[in-house]
């Protein structure tokens, strides 16, 4: 048995300094590792850059230009923002319409989806049928659904008002009345809460049964069980639904576009023929912020200003989402948590 000399342990823990060639070799190896990582990440990097980062940065640039789609953008500094905050009389009614939707329609959507989910969990039979019935509207294409609603709610020829008149109720003019146009769109959005309903249903069914049993043993009635067990347990899902609904509300476009262009007299069937025609009908009550942005960019050839409007929408969306998330720390519980 040979005994190899054992080098004495160094007094210091620091590794010995490397020779220049060893350092170069190490750098090359590190670069090869990074290159491999970048190579695997490249699909995401390219996708993110092309479809997200570049459009956003280009949009930011365009917001400081005059751009009419047909000639090169011309730098005009803050002129678009000055017009937005100081000169445009049309933008604030559009903001008001969007805020109305956020304040009224979004909470109603969340509550309605939750209510439907609770109802389904209580059903003794036909659960699958009810779930399907309430989810089916989500599968209807947005344009078809909106056109259908405009037809059904036509105050003169629609079956809804016919039914109401048989019950002795004088139905409103729905999509033709500026006071009822947004509530009509809200009804349309409630009709399509199937996605949120299914998510709530899954969350409610996932609440551990022993929590309900414990609460029952402690004397909690149904309402108290809902408040102290169900809601805290599904609070992350409630937060998710609220955030998604708010973002969708801020981007509300399709239904408003189709409803306003098809509800004008004699227009059903001609919807979308002209970019600007009848947008916001009646009386601008359905001219939501994204619709106004679209009108400015594609109807009025004012794409630079439309870009400024979209930057404001981005900032507001971020701010609102952050506000909701910050506020959520007070009422959202970790998985399985109870009050």
Partner 1 sequence: MRRTLALLAAILGVLAISACGGGSSSASTTGGSGGGSAPPKYDGKPVTITFWHPFTQRQADDMNAIVADFEKQYPNIKVVSRGGISDQNIIAAIRSGNPPDVAFSQSSDNLGEYCGTGAWINLAPYLAADHLSASAFPTAVQQYTQFSGDRCALPDLADAYGLYYNKTMLAKAGITSPPKTFDELTADAKKLTVFNPDGSIKIAGFVPVSTYYENAAAHYAPLWNAHWDINGKSAFATDPGWAKYLTWEKQLIDWYGVSKLTKFVSGAGNEFSPQNDFERGRVAMNLDGEWRVAFVTSDKSNVDYGTAPMPVDPAQPQLYGAGYTTGNVLGIPRDAKHKAAAWLLLKYLAFNNGAVEKFAEGLRNVPTLTSALSDPVLTGDPHFAVFLKIFGNPNTASDPITAIGSANQTMEGNWQQKWEAGSVSDLTAGLKSVDSAIDAQVANSTIGKAP
The residues that touch partner 1, with contacts defined as CB under 8 A, are 34, 38, 41-42, 45-46, 48-50, 53-54, 57-58, 65-76, 79-80, 83, 87-90, 154-157, 173, 176-178, 263-270, 274-284, 287, 295, 298-302, 305
Q: Tell me how far, at minimum, the Cβ of 219 lies from partner 1, in Å.
A: 56
Q: Tell me how far, at minimum, the Cβ of 295 lies from partner 1, in Å.
A: 7
Query: 338 and 229 in contact (C-beta within 8 Å)?
Result: yes
Q: Tell me how far, at minimum, the Cβ of 253 lies from partner 1, in Å.
A: 16
Q: Give the three-class secondary structure for 335.
A: coil
Q: Tell me how far, at minimum, the Cβ of 148 lies from partner 1, in Å.
A: 16
Length of the chain: 339
Which is closer to partner 1, CB of 18 or CB of 30? 30
Q: Tell me how far, at minimum, the Cβ of 236 lies from partner 1, in Å.
A: 30
Rounded Cα gap, residues 226 and 204, in angstroms: 10
- Sign of torsion, CA 20 21 27 30? negative
Which is closer to partner 1, CB of 158 or CB of 194? 158
Rounded Cα gap, residues 174 and 182, in angstroms: 9
Burial (Cβ within 10 Å: 0-12, 13-18, ≥19) of residue 120 = buried
Q: Tell me how far, at minimum, the Cβ of 305 lies from partner 1, in Å.
A: 6
Which is closer to partner 1, CB of 241 or CB of 286? 286
Alpha carbon distance, N-terminus to C-terminus of the chain? 71
Which is closer to partner 1, CB of 65 or CB of 189? 65
What SS3 string covers 253-322? CHHHHHHHHHHCCCCCCCCCCCCCCCCCCCCCCCCCHHHHHHHHHHHCCCHHHHHHHHHHHHHHHHHHHH
Which is closer to partner 1, CB of 48 or CB of 227? 48
Query: What string of DSSP letters covers 115-155?
Result: HHHHHHHH-SS-HHHHHHHHHHHHHS-HHHHHHHHHHHT-T
To which H or E segment does residue 75 belong? Answer: strand 74-75
Which is closer to partner 1, CB of 34 or CB of 339? 34
Which is closer to partner 1, CB of 257 or CB of 305? 305
Q: Tell me how far, at minimum, the Cβ of 263 lies from partner 1, in Å.
A: 8
């Amino acid at each position: 048995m040979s005994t190899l000399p054992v080098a004495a342990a160094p007094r210091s823990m620091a590794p010995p300094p490397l020779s220049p060639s060893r350092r170069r070799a190490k750098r090359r190896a590190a670069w090869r590792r990074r290159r491999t990582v970048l190579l695997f990440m490249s699909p995401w990097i390219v996708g993110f850059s092309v479809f997200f980062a570049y459009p956003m940065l280009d949009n930011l640039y365009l917001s400081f230009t005059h751009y009419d789609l047909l000639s090169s953008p011309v730098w005009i500094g803050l002129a678009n923002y000055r017009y937005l905050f100081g000169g445009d009389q049309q933008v604030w009614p559009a903001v008001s319409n969007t805020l109305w939707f956020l304040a009224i329609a979004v909470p109603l959507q969340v509550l309605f989806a939750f209510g439907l989910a609770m109802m389904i969990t209580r059903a003794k039979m036909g659960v699958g049928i009810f779930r399907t019935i309430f989810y089916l509207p989500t599968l209807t294409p947005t344009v078809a659904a909106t056109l259908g609603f405009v037809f059904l709610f036509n105050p003169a020829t629609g079956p809804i008002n016919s039914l109401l008149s048989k019950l002795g109720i004088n139905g409103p003019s729905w999509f033709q009345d500026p006071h009822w146009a947004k509530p009509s769109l809200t009804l349309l959005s409630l009709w399509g809460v199937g996605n949120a309903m299914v998510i709530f249903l899954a969350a409610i069914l996932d609440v551990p049964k022993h929590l309900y049993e414990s609460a029952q043993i402690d004397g909690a009635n149904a309402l108290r069980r809902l408040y102290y067990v169900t809601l805290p347990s599904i609070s992350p899902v409630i937060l998710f639904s609220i955030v998604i609904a708010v973002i969708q509300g801020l981007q509300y476009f399709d239904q408003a576009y189709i409803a306003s262009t098809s509800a004008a007299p004699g227009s059903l069937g001609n919807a979308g023929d002209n970019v600007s025609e009848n947008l916001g009908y009646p009386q601008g009550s359905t001219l939501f912020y994204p619709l106004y942005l679209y009108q400015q960019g594609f109807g009025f050839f004012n794409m630079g200003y439309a870009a400024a409007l979209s930057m404001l929408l981005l900032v507001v969306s971020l701010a609102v989402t952050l506000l909701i998330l910050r506020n959520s720390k007070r009422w959202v519980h970790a998985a399985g948590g109870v009050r």
